[in-house]
Amino acid sequence: MRAFYRTTLMAFKALRRNIMRSALTTLGIVIGVAAVIAMTEIGQGTNTAVQRTIKSMGADNLLIQPGTASSGGVSFGSGSVFTLTPQDSDAILRECPAVAEVAPIVRARTQVVYGNRNWVPVYIYGTTPSFLKVRDWEDLEEGEGFTDQDVRNGTAVCVLGQTIVRELFADESAIGKEVRVQNVTFRVVGVLSKKGANMMGVDQDDILLAPWRTIKYRVSGTSASTANQSAAAATTDPSQKVNSLSGLYPNQGTSLYQTPTPTQVADTPQPIRFTNVDQILCKAASTKEIDLAIKQITELLHERHRIKTGQPDDFSIRNMTEMSKALGSTSQTMTRSLLFVALVSLVVGGVGIMNIMLVSVTERTREIGLRMAVGARARDILRQFLVEAVVLCMMGGLIGILLGRGVAVLVRVSLGWPTEISVLAMVGAVVVSAGVGMIFGYYPAWKASRLDPIEALRYE
């Protein structure tokens, strides 16, 4: 331990003896590490900003839709049966830890009227205030969103997207005005901020948000006929189901299961679905937890809907795989390119170190000879020069970290780019610069240790 301390001290003294050259030698490492640190901080900041943007497009969102009704092999398409309830939505939020926010959605498609103007928005959504959280849409342009109380009471209030505001109100402020939707008068309480088109090219600002009870009971009626035109063919009354096979298979009528006794029925009450919602929109707690969230939701809905293993689901869950992949690959590409730049710059720096250490060994040949004459063994010499190179590199690394932080701060202050401190990059920089010192310092040190003391003492 003392030997190590002494060698380190000796290395510092040797480097201080030629401070200018030491500084210039390590400059390669300083610049390399500074570049890595600055780029990591700026890159991570940018990455986070990009990720936030992609997330605001709904990358973490999961859309739960009711399953399809099918009859005799004829499927009526997604949304043709009513299996999702507002209670499902509450249960998901309560029981799935991987889900951060949940918003039930009731859809409608109809005309919105203000004064002598009218407009048919792409989306008329009845939902809860958490919809805005799910969609990362919380900062409104004007006014405020409706509340949970409004949802409970079925109040006729709404929040409008920018496109509707432009179409109906032109230059006026929409706040406090009243619009008519199927003869129900909604008071506009808020205007959403601009979001633009989504990935499919559909204008996301063409939206009207209102409490779901209001839309459900006062506007939409049965939403299937309005939201999904093709589903109108599917009726919910089982007696009217098309079943062309019943005549062919007389055994069809035989029940597979025992008829439950009244006691059993009393013990396991079947929920009576008073209300259904068209969709449930969820937000996973994080991008990584999307798959976990899907699993948890599937299990929960199986339980709630009493779906046995092997039976087809009466719901489907969609995620934004493409977007979340884009999310992941963005950060991965950035990390990799940064790592590559880091490696190149450090190798360049390391070659500089090796060069100067070789010069230093040649220059100090007599010193090496002398040290050997007074009793230094080959490994003592090796250690001395190796420690010198490592100390040089680590000093360079530390100065580089400070410089890199400085550059990052400067960039943030002067250009306003987002930056983020990366402890990992700092630790990595120190470790890598020490490693560079060890790798590139080894050859000169080995060369020094192999000198013949007689030759070295006579060297001019």
Instruction: Decide: is 367 part of the binding site for other proteins (CB under 8 A).
Output: yes
Stretch near other proteins under the rule CB under 8 A, chosen from 10-18, 160-168, 235-243, 399-407: 10-18
> In the structure encoding, which two tokens stand for residue 428, read together?
């990595």
Instruction: Decide: is 370 part of the binding site for other proteins (CB under 8 A).
Output: yes
H-type helices in 57-156, by residue range? 86-95, 130-134, 148-153
How would you label 221-246 residue by residue, b for 16+ Cβ within 10 Å and e otherwise?
eebbebbbeebeebbeeeeeeeeeee
Instruction: Decide: is 388 part of the binding site for other proteins (CB under 8 A).
Output: no
Identity of the residue, 288 or 379, whose beta carbon is nearer to other proteins in the bound complex: 379
Q: Are 187 and 102 spatial neighbours (Cβ–Cβ below 8 Å)?
A: no
CB of 29 to other proteins, least distance (A): 24
Q: How many residues bind other proteins (CB under 8 A)?
A: 23
Identity of the residue, 6 or 336, whose beta carbon is nearer to other proteins in the bound complex: 6
CB of 445 to other proteins, least distance (A): 16
Question: How far is 375 from 218, CA to CA, in rounded Å?
Answer: 99
CB of 389 to other proteins, least distance (A): 19
Identity of the residue, 176 or 375, whose beta carbon is nearer to other proteins in the bound complex: 375
In angstroms and rounded to an integer, the radius of gyration of the C-alpha atoms of the chain is 35
Instruction: Decide: is 359 part of the binding site for other proteins (CB under 8 A).
Output: no
- For other proteins, the binding residue among 344, 373, 402, 431 (CB under 8 A) is 373
Tell the residue number behind the tokens 């432009």, with chain if given. 166
- For other proteins, the binding residue among 170, 200, 266, 374 (CB under 8 A) is 374
Stretch near other proteins under the rule CB under 8 A, chosen from 328-336, 370-378, 395-403, 407-415: 370-378
Identity of the residue, 10 or 348, whose beta carbon is nearer to other proteins in the bound complex: 10
Question: How far is 391 from 438, CA to CA, in rounded Å?
Answer: 10
- Which amino acid belongs to residue 130? S
Q: Is 427 exposed, middle or buried (0-12, 13-18, 19+ CB in 10 A)?
A: exposed
CB of 367 to other proteins, least distance (A): 6
- Within 400-459, which residues bind other proteins (CB under 8 A)? 453-454, 457
Please say whether the dihedral angle defined by the alpha carbons of residues 221, 227, 230 and 231, taken in this order, is positive or negative. negative
190: left (phi over 0), alpha (psi -120 to 50) or beta: beta
Instruction: Decide: is 265 part of the binding site for other proteins (CB under 8 A).
Output: no
Instruction: Decide: is 6 part of the binding site for other proteins (CB under 8 A).
Output: yes
CB of 26 to other proteins, least distance (A): 19
Q: Are 215 and 125 spatial neighbours (Cβ–Cβ below 8 Å)?
A: yes
Instruction: Decide: is 328 part of the binding site for other proteins (CB under 8 A).
Output: no
Identity of the residue, 3 or 256, whose beta carbon is nearer to other proteins in the bound complex: 3
- Within 12-51, which residues bind other proteins (CB under 8 A)? 13, 17
Identity of the residue, 204 or 384, whose beta carbon is nearer to other proteins in the bound complex: 384
Identity of the residue, 148 or 455, whose beta carbon is nearer to other proteins in the bound complex: 455
> In the structure encoding, which two tokens stand for residue 328, read together?
């992941």
User: How many C-beta atoms surround the C-beta of residue 65 within 10 A?
Assistant: 18
Question: How far is 22 from 388, CA to CA, in rounded Å?
Answer: 10
What's the helix, strand, coil split of the chain in %, to 5? 55, 15, 30
Q: Are 75 and 68 spatial neighbours (Cβ–Cβ below 8 Å)?
A: yes
Stretch near other proteins under the rule CB under 8 A, chosen from 73-81, 105-113, 129-137, 373-381: 373-381
Please say whether the dihedral angle defined by the alpha carbons of residues 171, 172, 174 and 180, taken in this order, is positive or negative. negative
Instruction: Decide: is 371 part of the binding site for other proteins (CB under 8 A).
Output: yes
Q: What are phi and psi of 282, to 5 degrees?
A: -120, 160
- For other proteins, the binding residue among 376, 382, 398, 429 (CB under 8 A) is 376
Instruction: Decide: is 10 part of the binding site for other proteins (CB under 8 A).
Output: yes
> In the structure encoding, which two tokens stand for residue 34, read together?
């500074």
- For other proteins, the binding residue among 95, 142, 203, 380 (CB under 8 A) is 380
Stretch near other proteins under the rule CB under 8 A, chosen from 160-168, 304-312, 341-349, 377-385: 377-385
> In the structure encoding, which two tokens stand for residue 117, read together?
């103007």
The residues of the shown chain that bind other proteins, judged by CB under 8 A, are 2-3, 6, 10, 13, 17, 366-367, 369-380, 453-454, 457
